[in-house]
Amino acid sequence: MRIPVVLRTVALLVGLALWIGWGWSITTGKGAMDRTGTVVGTDFVMFYAAGQTVLRGETERLYDQEFQKELQQKLIGERFSGYYHLYTPPLFAVPFTMFAGTDYQTSFFIWTLLSFFCLVNALRFLQPRSLSQPLLFSLPLFPVFAGFSFGQNSNLSLLIMAATCALWIGGRDGAAGMVLSLLFYKPQLLLGVVLLWCLDWRESKRALAGLACGLAVLALLQLLFMPQATAAYLSLATERFADLNQSQGFPVAKQLTLAGLVSVLVPGIPGVLHHAVLLAGMFWAALLLRRFISRWGDERQWLFAAAIGATFWLSPHAMVYDGTLLLIPAVIAATSGYVRQRDFLRIAAVGWVALLFGARLTQIQLDLLGFAINIGALATLCLGWWFLRLQRPLPRLRGDGREQLEEGRE
């Protein structure tokens, strides 16, 4: 699918403005702080400090708030007075020990290069024939930019999910499940694919077995080598994760989930009612996914794309940078020939604009009104709903008698 010149030019200009502005800010700052006084890489601070903690042999203090706050300030310098709380399992801190021998700025630069490597190879899994157009499409996408500028692991998540998709489409179900288990550090992002495999368990039982084996191995390693940190993580999860969206200071305006939509639309909603709404949304998404499977049962790439769309309905927590996963259904829809080009471009344009400005506009509403319509979350949920409602195109005969597909319709 070719993107019209005007749309491509606008997207590239906006994307260039984002990247150049960010590059200028971090290169003209002082030390580990950018020009605005914010630490470069923001969330990368917690990963860097976690790696230092593991290397020091103090894994039991990975979730010690006072210790981590003091360590982060020591590593970044006296101009940094913030704190970034680690929410990933302790085993995920181990890879960051490789950065412990370098200063923070160098570590973040290496991490950025690794993130770009993950993005490129994820797109290669999704579209092996041509990489240039998907890459040009993805770089101006705000969730992709946010993943880089926030120092997050979203491009790694995309690589794991794209590799899982390619393996599963290729019939290597056990390997697909094993690879997906590597996303253990963000279990909420597994929900869509796991639900798909459970609903389609007869065809996907080997994938489920591979996933279970992979998670079991990772859990065993964590329990054997990091028992105290594991206990601290489980304590943190039970105390904070259920009500994370409603906790003070949490950037819920950057959420892309049903939970993020409800939390800002009805601030202070009672917990029981909040969870009831989320469960209803999850049930509805599961029903749509089940119907989608009945229509597209032998088209695995479409099943996987639909599962990604359902993830944002099912997950209690997915930030704007996690929207990078939307590249999977976008690439599949753009290259399949099932969806009309004008329909895809309209939907992609609306989604691109909503994700670019959504968090800022949502925060403005909250500041002025005390409540808000989470534009980014609403757009993401609508994209997932549109995808889950896609009807499979029916074959029709061409003039020469050969069969071809009708264009996809909702």
Q: How far apart are CA 335 and CA 337, in angstroms?
A: 6
The answer to the question of residue 286 being in a domain is: yes
pLDDT of 132 reads 78
Q: How many residues does the chain have?
A: 410
The whole-angstrom separation of Cα 54 and Cα 60 is: 9
Report pLDDT for 396.
40
Mean pLDDT by 10 residues, the chain (410 residues): 64 88 93 90 95 94 94 85 89 93 93 97 88 84 96 98 97 98 96 96 96 98 96 90 73 92 89 87 92 90 95 93 96 82 82 93 95 96 90 50 42
Tell whether 408 is covered by a domain.
no
- Contact at 8 Å (CB) between 315 and 241? no
Asked, for residue 352, whether it belongs to a domain, the answer is: yes
Helix, strand or coil for residue 255?
strand
Long-range residue pairs from 290-294, CB within 8 A, at least 24 positions apart, any chain: 290/199, 291/388, 292/388, 292/390, 293/196, 293/199, 293/200
Q: How far apart are CA 54 and CA 51, in angstroms?
A: 5
409 forms beta bridges with 391
d(CA 84, CA 403): 57
Question: What distances in angstroms separate CA 341 from CA 3, 181, 336, 338, one per listed residue?
Answer: 9, 35, 10, 9
Q: How far apart are CA 236 and CA 62, in angstroms?
A: 11
User: What's residue 3's pLDDT?
Assistant: 57
Rounded CA-CA distance 318/355 in Å is 13
Q: What is the pLDDT of residue 318?
A: 94
Amino acid identity, residue 87? Y
User: Residue 21: inside a domain, yes or no?
Assistant: no
Q: What's the pLDDT score for residue 133?
A: 79
Residues 6 or more apart whose CB falls under 8 angstroms from that of 80 comprise 32, 33, 39, 45, 72, 73
Domain that holds residue 165: 5-9+26-243+251-391
Residue 65 maps to a domain:
yes
Alpha carbon separation from 133 to 95, 103, 293, 331 (Å, rounded): 32, 35, 29, 10
- The pLDDT, as a whole number, for residue 100 is 80
- What pLDDT is attached to residue 397? 35
| Residue 373, domain member (yes or no) | yes
Q: Does residue 396 lie in a domain region?
A: no
pLDDT given for residue 135 in this prediction? 85
Instruction: Look at residues 250, 264, 277, 257 and name the one whose alpha carbon lies nearest to residue 361.
Output: 264
Asked if residue 262 is part of any domain, the answer here is: yes
Domain count, the chain: 1
pTM attached to this predicted model: 0.92
Q: What is the pLDDT of residue 5?
A: 63
pLDDT for 400 equals 40
Res 404: pLDDT: 45
Q: Mind listing the pLDDT tens digit for each residue in 201-211?
A: 999 999 999 99
